[in-house]
Amino acid sequence: MKKILVIGGTGVTGHLIYRELQTNPNLEIFGTSRRAAAISDDHIIYFDLAADKQRNIALLQKFDFTVIALGPFEKYLNKVQQLCIIAQVNCLDINDSILAAQKIKNLQEQAEKQKVTVLTGFGLCPGLSTLALGLNLSSTVTDIACRLYIGQQPIGPGAMAAMLRTINQQYPVLVKGKKFWIDNEVTDNYRFWGHSQSSSLIGYENPEMVTTAALRKLKVNYSYKVHFAALKKTQLKFLLKASSWLNTQTIPFLQKLYFLFSKMKRQVKQSDKGCLLEVTWKGKGQQKLVISGESSYYMTAMFACVIVTEIFETKITLAAGVYDWENLTANSERVLADLEKKGLQIKHR
């Protein structure tokens, strides 16, 4: 029986990955916690990047595969991936940070030398969104818009920190395949599929801007915007203005404030729940793909779990090195079918 370690397995997304993989009778799943005193489960073990490096490497060597769900990735960058490479253990992460993506990509030579496979960016955006936007990429496509609706849901501290760090006064877009930073603003004229009212959108970072070579090669225009159902338009505007002075002191304070506020909200409208990912291609005509699920955490976790499962079923095989979804596009239709079995809804419009 293969042994898999989910690093960050007690976080919101990590716990979903941990629980879902446990349903596979051919895999033995373990999670990690940084709080040794709080561990009461035999399958949750102590792991802390601040602990002894050799201890962590020795721990990783006990496993056949590692899933990295430890965030925020802006903080940890490629540290866990480096440990996996040294330990010669293949790994997959759900990184959603541009900075971390660049650092992880730089491990290519080291991974090849150690004969380790590193799969990076296998979450929601990038990951599932990368799969989606690649379905209709062709020389006739001129514009691609990725729009993400995140309904009200319990939010982990890592996700909150990432959100606060990524809402900035400028955000990246691709113009004919080249990355530019443009002024950010809150817009309210976008209607998601199945919604009766328009939603406020804000420009957001997505590593696809720098990791997806096809977008640059085809010289397309590409933008990525998000709606947070838990934040009012006035709150989004405040965060935009405040982004220049948000720092390591204020972000933890806002994390705790928002977390307490979200726990106080007992009732949430059904229309404000769930997660919706829409990718629109324009060129000679227009096409749209809509993928929805019960939460952004769930969609992230299920994509990672499907990939891990397919690896151990040998449906996906890769040589040593660092890879993202763009290297696995031949598997797109099968992976989408597997995601539908996990409860995600997929519609072509």
d(CA 109, CA 145): 33
Residues 304 and 258 both lie in one domain: no
d(CA 302, CA 284): 33
Tokens representing residue 339 in the block: 């995601």
What pLDDT score does 126 carry?
Answer: 92
Q: Please, which residues bridge with residue 315 across strands?
A: none
Give a three-class secondary structure readout of 177-224.
Answer: CEEEEEECCCEEEECCCCCCCCEEEEECCCCHHHHCHHHHHCCCEEEE
In a domain, 338, yes or no: no
Task: Work out the burial of residue 281: count CB atoms within 10 Å of its CB; fewer than 13 is exposed, 13-18 middle, 19 or more buried.
Answer: buried
Q: What are the tens digits of pLDDT across the range 118-145?
A: 999 999 999 999 999 899 888 889 999 9
What pLDDT score does 155 carry?
Answer: 59
In this structure, the strands spanning 221-228 and 143-150 are parallel
What pLDDT score does 270 carry?
Answer: 47
What pLDDT score does 211 carry?
Answer: 79
Residues 165 and 277 both lie in one domain: yes
Element spanning 323, H or E: strand 321-323
Q: What are the tens digits of pLDDT across the range 278-318?
A: 999 998 889 999 999 999 999 999 999 999 999 999 898 88
What pLDDT score does 175 carry?
Answer: 94
Residues 163 and 289 both lie in one domain: yes
Element spanning 301, H or E: helix 296-312
Residues 186 and 94 both lie in one domain: no
Tokens representing residue 320 in the block: 């040593």
pTM of the predicted model over 0.85: yes
How many C-beta neighbours within 10 Å does residue 269 have?
A: 9
Residues 235 and 311 both lie in one domain: no
What pLDDT score does 254 carry?
Answer: 56
In a domain, 349, yes or no: no
What pLDDT score does 36 carry?
Answer: 61
Q: Which domain holds residue 224?
A: 128-296
Residues 221 and 290 both lie in one domain: yes
d(CA 59, CA 44): 13
Residues 107 and 235 both lie in one domain: no
User: Tokens 């079923």 identify what position?
Assistant: 313
Q: Which of 275, 296, 317 is the last residue of a domain?
A: 296
What pLDDT score does 188 carry?
Answer: 81
CATH of the domain at 269: 3.30.360.10
In the predicted model, residues of the chain with pLDDT beneath 50 are: 260-261, 263-268, 270
